[in-house]
A and B are shown apart, each in its own frame.
Chain A
Amino acid sequence: MADEVRTAQPKEFYRKYLEQGVRPDNRELGEFRPTVLDIGSKNGSCISTAEGSALIRLGNTIVICGIKGELAEPKTETPTEGYLVPNVELSAVCSPQFRPGPPSEQAQVLSQFVANVLKNSQCVELEDLCIAPGKMVWVLYADLICLDYDGNVADACVLALTAALSNTSLPVVRVDEETGKTETDFKEEKKIQLTCTPISATSAIFEDNVLLVDPTRQEEELSTGLVTVVTDGKNICSLEKPGGSPLKDQQMRLCIERAFQRHTEACNLITQSQGSTLSTLTSPLVDR
């Protein structure tokens, strides 16, 4: 019975649950789905050929992130800065709403969002990517691929990227001043230092007044707006509310508060999974 109502009258279905302060998947309004994080290292799991990688499961949503390093010449105006190029791919694998071919608008918007988060938080100092000023720098390509789209890909992307970057190590490259030749030492590796860990938390607005954190795809479709807050634990790195229904100051404050909570949770998760290969963040309430 419940399934029929869910398909035929999704709004009514959700309304009934939300009146009781729970969601159809047993979550509370401010609760994230169980998060599984798998950070790859050179000899570990995930993508072993990449410089850094991470795979995240947020409920059914799966995003994989690979970081590749290449050498390039810096721009003339910023001779000591490397490049960090994020790209989000919403391939046809992840949902029937995406078609094969050039990146959809949503993919472009997500890529821009991730690029903004990196720029605003300055978690990677671009000057650390410099090998020889004016001559050679690292270009880090961060490719984020969504494998299963069940809502809230933005949060999954930011977490996957932060986790992958926190475990990225690059071989030491030396440039011979006179000949200009490069010498790569694969035995010696240097880890990238992150100045902060940006973590995002998205809430969906349901019927103009209920805020659902970490929305599933159905919740996203039913929502009348999304709010994404990215924090680094102390400050807000990015606050995005693209249109949708108006929000009271108090509700916005709740979103920010939740983002700070999520930051603590997610940081613990990253630290844990760096020790082991697989970490899960589940609350005892959740049983799916």
Chain B
Amino acid sequence: MEVMETSTNSPCLAALTCVLGDLSQADGSASFTHGNTSVLAATYGPCEVRMSKEILDQATVEVVCKPRVGLPNCADKYRERHIRDLFQATILVNLHPRSSVMIVLQERQDDGGLLATSINAACLALLDAGVSMKFLVAAVTALIDKDGNINLVPEEKPSDVEASASLTIVFNEKDLQVMGVTSSGKFSQEQYDRSVSLCRKATEHVFKFYRESMERKLSKSV
């Protein structure tokens, strides 16, 4: 087991922290914190798949989102579907036909931007497990307030209550194109365009953070 903690501060995002490989039994794990939101991700696989979920020419990606307390509800299912579709397109699924890659996400603390944090945690866990991917992905949540200002750092507390709209945008590392979007609240097209360019800049920072975390994990101390 190798535990590595990396943290960083950036002008446009809240503090990012991650611990790679802190679960001994999982094939890969990462605990990712963005501001006050924290998610623990574990991945298993490629391993055996249930007959009913088997796909003949590719691996099946399974995602389980665990809420902090209680049983998973519809909103968790919704998150699961989003993350599953995202990684089904990201992981090189054709390399492992008739097998399963499982991602388990445990919410630890939610202070806004849970989906984005979950996606980033899952990506780091897959990276830790060494699952082959087409590219890395990173998500950032943008908050649009009543005056139309776009903000990436939830100041003080809850994002969704104060903001009139919020957008979670996922980018890939290859050419920084939009992989996934989820929104809440109303916003105009112009606000969307501005959020995309702002998030695009911020994700570059997240990708840099991924790289730093991996470098630390893989470097040897003498």
Contact = CB atoms under 8 A, between A and B. Distances in A.
B186 A240 contact: no
A235 B187 CA distance: 5
A109 interface: yes
A105 B81 contact: yes
B145 to A, nearest CB: 15
Contacts of A122: 186
Interface in A75-118: 105, 108-109, 111-113, 115-116
B180 A236 contact: no
Interface string B175-190: 1011111111111110
B161 interface: no
Interface string B70-105: 000011011011111111111000000000000000
A227 B170 CA distance: 14
A236 B81 contact: no
Interface in A213-240: 224-225, 227, 232, 234-240
A119 B78 CA distance: 15
A225 B180 CA distance: 10
B74 A121 contact: no
Interface string A116-149: 1001111000000000000000000000000000
Interface stretch (A6-14, A64-72, A246-254): A246-254
A241 interface: yes
Interface of A, secondary structure class, is: mixed
A120 B89 contact: no
Interface residues of A, number: 35
Contacts of A274: none
B167 interface: yes
Nearest to A196: B186
Contacts of B184: 116, 119-120, 238
B178 A246 contact: yes
Contact of A225 (B75, B85, B182): B85
Contact of B188 (A120, A235, A252): A235
Given A116-B184, A237-B186, A243 B82 contact: yes
A203 to B, nearest CB: 13
A260 to B, nearest CB: 9
B172 interface: yes
Interface of B: 74-75, 77-78, 80-90, 165, 167, 170, 172, 174-175, 177-189, 192-193, 196
Interface of A: 105, 108-109, 111-113, 115-116, 119-122, 224-225, 227, 232, 234-249, 252-253, 256
